[in-house]
Amino acid sequence: MEIIRGMHNLRDRHRGCVATIGNFDGVHRGHKALLARLKAEGEALGLPTTLITFEPQPREFFRGREVPARLTRLREKLWLLERVGVDRVLCLPFNERLASMPAQAIVDDLLVAGLDVRYLMVGDDFRFGRGREGDFALLVAAGERYGFKVAKLDTLALGDDRVSSTRVRAALAAGDLLLAERLLGHRYFISGRVVYGRQLGRQLGVPTANVPLNRYHAALEGVFAVEVSGLGPIRQGVANIGVRPTVDGREPLLEVHLFDFSDDIYGQLLSTTFRHKIRDEWKFESVDALKARIDVDIVAAGDFFATERSA
């Protein structure tokens, strides 16, 4: 999959494609249904698929820290998009210039002059351009003028409600990992590089791999049984994700203790998949009380995996 960063990096070879545009946070089943349709159209026309997305997401630009948690950082989103077969991702920096760009200018400069889009598919609630002035009707009119087809995909439903990033966030916040998996079409994971921490876990006899989230806040918090990839065979462990209130933490952090593992893995890129919630994040009266509870959590995580193996 080719990644194109910014309109200024578009070349003649990028012209002529089927395309879609949006945040695609989480790359959930609704997104995957849209991308499957887009890929089929591309194959029918003999054209590559191009997905246009933004970094940061538009609402992060406008609302800062008050936005809902992200489901995927850019690295995670790109990995998921490659798995579903997207040919190219055009990542646009969302800044004041783009935020103030009229919808018609986006059509003219990006979709027509930049990409020569032949087929465009969007979600049923898609809006774009300055003040969200662009809508499906504007795209259809532009398609008739410039000679490209525009289609929209109705929202995918699961049960009595739509599949959406908002619904995935609600499931994760409630600790319902099975519902989140059904909505996403994959298990929820977070990837990141291991950094040096305060070494408290090692002092307590439970060394942890510390992964900074580098996001405003996580979509879930608490203590979980996890599986970790990036170190050869998939390893199991227990993880805390949150702000570590017992030790006066401030920034969100993912801390993972791997069972029967003590190698130096600083700088390694890990992918942590959340399998089962054990409890919420609590503030303990002392570090000793925290250590005692960590021991209980490790047993609970081990019991989860043992039960799964015997099922």
- The per-residue pLDDT for range 20-41, each reduced to its tens digit, is 999 999 999 999 999 999 999 9
Examine the pLDDT at 292 and tell me if it is beyond 80.
yes
pTM as predicted: 0.92
Structure tokens at 83: 């798995």
- Residue 148 CA to residue 18 CA, distance in Å, equals 9
- Residue 221 CA to residue 219 CA, distance in Å, equals 7
- Using pLDDT thresholds of 50, 70 and 90, give the confidence band for residue 286: confident
Instruction: Indicate the pairing of strand 222-229 with strand 149-153.
Output: unpaired
Handedness of CA 115, 121, 123, 124 (dihedral sign): positive
- List the domains of the chain with CATH numbers: 2-162 (3.40.50.620), 188-310 (2.40.30.30)
Helices (H), 84-135: 96-99, 103-105
From 172-186, 188-202, 220-234, 273-287, the region with the lowest mean pLDDT = 188-202
Examine the pLDDT at 166 and tell me if it is beyond 80.
yes
- Residue 240 CA to residue 18 CA, distance in Å, equals 42
**For residues 224-240, b (16+ Cβ closer than 10 Å) or e, as one string?**
bbbbbebbeeebbbbbb
What pLDDT, in 10s, does the model give residues 225-244? 999 999 889 999 999 998 87
Are the CB atoms for 114 and 80 separated by under 8 Å?
no
Comparing 262 with 186, which gets the higher pLDDT? 186
From 13-17, 193-197, 227-231, 250-254, the region with the lowest mean pLDDT = 250-254
Q: Which amino acid is residue 226, in one-letter code?
A: V
CB atoms within 10 A of CB 282: 13
Count of alpha carbons within 13 angstroms of residue 167, beta-carbon side: 21
User: Quick one: three-class SS letters along 274-288?
Assistant: EEEEEECCCCCCCHH
- Distance between first and last Cα of the chain: 38
pLDDT of residue 252: 83
Q: What beta strand segments (E) does the chain contain?
A: 2-5, 17-21, 49-55, 88-93, 117-123, 149-153, 157-158, 161-162, 189-193, 209-212, 222-229, 235-242, 253-258, 269-279
Examine the pLDDT at 200 and tell me if it is beyond 80.
no
- Residue 182 CA to residue 53 CA, distance in Å, equals 24
Backbone angles phi, psi at 161, to 5 degrees: -135, 160
From 120-124, 152-156, 229-233, the region with the lowest mean pLDDT = 152-156
Examine the pLDDT at 64 and tell me if it is beyond 80.
no
**Proportion of the chain above pLDDT 70, given as a percent:** 95
Write the DSSP symbol of residue 156: P
